[in-house]
Chain A
Amino acid sequence: MRKAILFVTFLFVSAFLLLGVAEMRPFGQPAVADMDDYFITNAQGEVAVNNVVTAVVFDYRGFDTLGEATVLFAAVVGILALFRKPKEDER
């Protein structure tokens, strides 16, 4: 019984994945490329940066990077608080 359920689940998941692969577009031809084209044509002129990824990360999508940095900061603060040396009177 358990094996049958597992097999049916496996079949369903495989069918979904294969359906997705069958409807995939050819490599390098996304359905909507307006934003990519804008970044590629205008990053050098607007941000004066050759690395377009850095232009997106630190300029166009800077707010997202701020959240990323906040996540790292919270992780560091959490680990430092977890492993900090307890004072003598706190034991």
Chain B
Amino acid sequence: MSNHGMSVIVRTVTRFVYGLIILFGFYVIMHGHLTPGGGFQGGAVVASAFALLLVAFGSAGLKGRLNLHWLQSIEEVGALAFLALAFLGIGTAFFYNLLANSGGFLFGASVPAGANAGVLNAGGTVPLMNWAVGLKVMTGIAAVAITMLIGSKKEETE
């Protein structure tokens, strides 16, 4: 069952929808400092698209699309990037936001006070940490889903 996936209806709808889910997840990560959501939530959305692919197509459908070693490597890179961004402001304090309001091109713009639509190029290390945590969460949960599917499949065949 897990080898062949689900019915034609589910597979067709999944083929239409999974790209949009991944796009929405990246939107949530990218606008984490402006709209509700952030790295954790957007990463979970992207990982849900991978889980949908796994459920609809089975383990054969993902062969060649997602490499488990690559997923683990990206997860560790995300964790290290998060830690490095935290250490960036160690001159003042751990997790000090060095880049905010610096006026630089890297998320250094200021935000007017009060209700406004927000500035995308602002927030200092916060958007960068959103990306690091988002990459970490999406690859971590995808790796967990793939590993558990492979593990359960092996028990079936043996």
Identify the A interface with B (CB < 8 A): 44-51, 53-55, 57-59, 62-63, 65-66, 68-69, 72-73, 75-76, 79-80, 82-85
B150 and A83: CB pair below 8 A? yes
Does residue B45 face the partner (Cβ distance < 8 Å to A)?
no
Q: Which of A48, A51, A79 contacts B110 (CB 8 A)?
A: A48
Determine how close the nearest CB of chain B comes to the CB of A42; give it in whole angstroms. Answer: 10
The answer on a CB contact under 8 Å between A58 and B130 is yes
Nearest Cβ distance between residue A50 and chain B, in whole angstroms?
4
The one of A49, A62, A84 in contact with B123, judged by C-beta atoms closer than 8 angstroms, is A49
B79 at the interface (CB under 8 A from A): yes
Interface-lining segment among B15-23, B49-57, B114-122: B114-122
Which chain B residues border A50 with CB–CB below 8 Å? Answer: 33-34, 111, 116, 118-119
Inter-chain contact A48/B75, CB cutoff 8 Å: no
Stretch at the interface among B2-10, B58-66, B140-148: B140-148
Q: How many residues of B contact A (CB 8 A)?
A: 46
Chain B residues at the A interface, C-beta cutoff of 8 Å = 32-36, 38-40, 72, 75, 79, 82-83, 86, 94-95, 97, 100-101, 109-114, 116, 118-119, 122-126, 129-130, 133, 136-137, 140-141, 143-144, 147-148, 150-151
Number of A-B contacts (CB under 8 A): 111
In the complex with contacts A48-B122, A49-B111, A69-B136, A76-B33 CB distance below 8 A: no
Instruction: From B36, B83, B101, give the contact of A66 (CB < 8 A).
Output: B83
- Whether A66 contacts B82 in the complex (CB less than 8 A), given A55-B126, A59-B95, comes out as yes
Q: How far is the CA of A51 from the CA of B31 in the complex (A)?
A: 9
A51 lies within 8 A of B124 (CB): no
Which of A46, A51, A68 has a CB less than 8 Å from the CB of B33? A51
Q: Smallest CB–CB gap between B157 and chain A, Å?
A: 13
Closest-by-CB residue of A relative to B100 is: A48
A80 & B95 in contact (Cβ 8 Å cutoff)? no
Across the interface, do A80 and B137 meet the contact criterion of CB distance under 8 Å? no
Given A48-B100, A50-B33, A83-B148: A58 touches B126 (CB 8 Å cut-off): yes
